[in-house]
Amino acid sequence: MEDVGRSLPSLDLVEEFSCRVISRYQKKMALYLLEIAGMDGLSRFRTERSLPFGVIKHFRRVMDLFDESTQYLLGQLRHRGIIVQCKPDCSYCCFNMPYGLSTLELIWVYHGSCLTGKSSRLFRRLLEVEELWEELRRRRSGHEDHDTSHPSACEREELLKSYQKLCQPCPFLQESSCLVYRYRPIACRMHFSLSPSYWCNPRHFQHDHAVRFNLEPGDCVQDAFEQIDERFGLNISHTMICGLLELTVNIMQFEPIRWT
């Protein structure tokens, strides 16, 4: 048995320190997001399938700030002898189903997938994973007509745990590399492990004992995302696979976004 976990720091201590360190970054992120919320054209996106170029320009800065805050935090943790074990070639967290994506993040991922030149192949992968997700939901709920896109909170948590245990790779994963890495949402950027990275493998016997933490957006960022969601008014799923399929088929109709 591995006993690495005995020397790991308190998770509560790490999370408390994390909140203090990155709060000023999140305030800057919220300001950029609020500027996006005030831009013209968001409410017409459904019909015109176009957005001001300022949207992508500002949101790129938001994601850069999140990455900057992450790197700063990891450096501060290292100075205190707390080492995050995540490595560039580790993709175990890519067995999760990203949930909680805003409309803007789904648009961001969709834009990134269009730039890969592999949209058709990725769409087929999305369909395969959505079918797996739907089958898993049916087995757990026992109801054929239950809403898959908007499950209850309890059902969602159980679904996410069950899905992770399947070790199903993300549709954007190719040989341990993300095809839309630059455009991945916050839900894919916020996971970190203080345990050996292979403990994050859902099939590893120490998986349930791994010490992990998330750098979740603060209230100011969440509130700004909600304001943008209201401006778009699309009401699509917050689960990445379901939301992307709705965006691709029902709104974009497989066309790339026009940036004006």
Report whether pLDDT(59) > 90: yes
94-112 average pLDDT score? 96
- pLDDT confidence band for 2 (50 / 70 / 90): very low
User: 256 in a domain, yes or no?
Assistant: no
Share of the chain above pLDDT 70, in %: 90
Over residues 126-156, the pLDDT tens digits come to: 999 999 998 898 887 765 555 544 566 777 8
**Which CA distances in Å does 22 have to 19, 25, 219, 227?**
6, 5, 13, 22
Domains in the chain, number: 1
- Residue 59's CB is within 10 A of a number of other CB atoms, namely 21
24-52 average pLDDT score? 96
Report whether pLDDT(3) > 50: no
State residue 11's pLDDT score: 67
Over residues 34-47, the pLDDT tens digits come to: 999 999 999 999 99
State residue 7's pLDDT score: 54
User: 259 in a domain, yes or no?
Assistant: no
State residue 151's pLDDT score: 60
Over residues 241-260, the pLDDT tens digits come to: 999 999 999 999 999 999 99
User: 260 in a domain, yes or no?
Assistant: no
120 contact partners, CB below 8 Å, separation of at least 6:
none
State residue 6's pLDDT score: 46
Over residues 201-243, the pLDDT tens digits come to: 999 999 999 988 888 888 999 999 999 999 999 999 999 999 9
Residue with tokens 């757990």: 140
- Name the residue among 41, 168, 42, 152 with its Cα closest to residue 93: 168
Q: Give the span between the Cα atoms of 90 and 213, in whole angstroms.
A: 16
User: 257 in a domain, yes or no?
Assistant: no
Whole-prediction pTM: 0.89
State residue 22's pLDDT score: 81
Over residues 9-23, the pLDDT tens digits come to: 566 667 777 777 788
User: 186 in a domain, yes or no?
Assistant: yes
- pLDDT confidence band for 1 (50 / 70 / 90): very low
- pLDDT confidence band for 81 (50 / 70 / 90): confident
Share of the chain above pLDDT 90, in %: 64
∠ Cα 207 109 235 (to 5°): 95
State residue 121's pLDDT score: 94
User: 258 in a domain, yes or no?
Assistant: no
- Domain hosting residue 45, numbered range: 4-251
